[in-house]
Amino acid sequence: MSSHHNHEPVDPTFGTVAEFDDPDALLSAAHRAHEAGFRHVEAYSPFPIHGMDEALKFDDARLPWATFLGGLGGCAIGFLGLYYTNVVDYPWNVGGRPLFSWPQFLPITYECTILFAALSAFFFQFALNGLPKPYHSIFNTPNFARATQDRFFLLIEKTDPQYDSSETASFLSGLRGVINVSEVEK
């Protein structure tokens, strides 16, 4: 019995990246890449660039919703926890006051809401960003170590439907302010 395996060559390319030395050039390049039809685009910068999320059309609403739902859960846990403790588990009549006096529950309910919202935002951003990520293909880019200092990078991934190695490199080379264009290996 013989087995025949179809060995197709594996393309080691992850995408094509352009290097800039000016944040305005990177922002302009991100706008141009979206106008050209590229959708799997990432920008890397040593600091936040105002307008970059609009340029890349990044409109993921999962983190705000996760934060809201975490806060809502914290509100419910805080309020119901106090209710259970004061009314059900250990009712203690002090000076003829009612067992369920909701104004006394507000400070702890508020604090639980803030705490759970903050913790939800913290942990969900890690999950949604796929962190921790000790290795990413972009680390293979020449000069990428300067992305935390003074360089700006625009990556078009190979998974983009418009991606063609030579045409993408040509497009990126024609952008204003490009210092270097190179392919990124996996």
Distance CA 59, CA 8 (A): 37
Q: How far is CA 82 from the centre of its chain?
A: 35
Residues, the chain, total?
186
| Domain at 14-46+150-185: CATH code | 3.30.70.1510
Q: List the chain domain ranges.
A: 14-46+150-185, 62-128
Q: Torsions phi, psi of 144, nearest 5?
A: -65, -20
Residue 74: pLDDT above 90? yes
Contact by Cβ (8 Å): 11, 158: yes
- Over residues 107-135, the pLDDT tens digits come to 999 999 999 999 999 999 999 988 888 89
Predicted TM-score of the model (pTM): 0.74
DSSP state, residue 20:
E
